[in-house]
Amino acid sequence: MSDRDNNLMNTNTSTMFDNNNNNNNTASSFATAFKGRNTAMSTDDLRKARESRAADALRMKDEQLKILSEQNGNLLLSLDKVTTFTILLKLISFKYSAVCFDNYFITFSLMMMMM
């Protein structure tokens, strides 16, 4: 073998060992990420976890709908009160206008009588 071939083999071998060291570092970082977990999760465990998250999300949505329905009911009651109050104000305004007209008519009649 020539020197060139020997250099190529040494370079390839060196690169291979460097990649292997990288893989070991990656494996150890994965191991630290799953520290405290004895075994990998089974498909049943994953399915149960997913179903649990879905049930929690559904429970939260139900609670949100309940709160929104309650707020909607309160808003409708407030709207009814405002509508009732508005009708009452219009009625009072109409009565006030009628009283003013009556006062004007009475005043005008009295003035005509005095003449």
Does 95 fall in a domain?
no
Asked if the structure places residue 77 within a domain, the reply is yes
pLDDT for residue 31: 55
Is position 52 within any domain? yes
**Angle CA 107–111–115, to nearest 5:** 170
Whole-structure pTM value:
0.43
- How many structural domains does the chain have? 1
For residue 100, being part of any structural domain is answered with no
- CA distances to 54, 63, 107, 110 from 67, rounded to whole Å, are 20, 6, 59, 64
Residue 81 lies inside a defined structural domain of this protein: yes
- From 40, 12, 17, select the one nearest 25 (Cα to Cα): 17
Q: Report which residue type is found at 75.
A: L
Encode the chain (115 residues) as per-residue pLDDT tens digits. Answer: 556 555 555 554 444 444 444 455 555 555 555 555 556 678 888 999 999 999 999 999 999 999 999 999 999 999 999 999 888 888 888 877 777 777 776 776 767 777 6
Q: What is the pLDDT of residue 69?
A: 96
pLDDT tens digits for 12-22? 444 444 444 44
Give the max Cα distance, the chain. Answer: 144
Query: What range defines the domain where residue 48 resides?
Result: 3-85
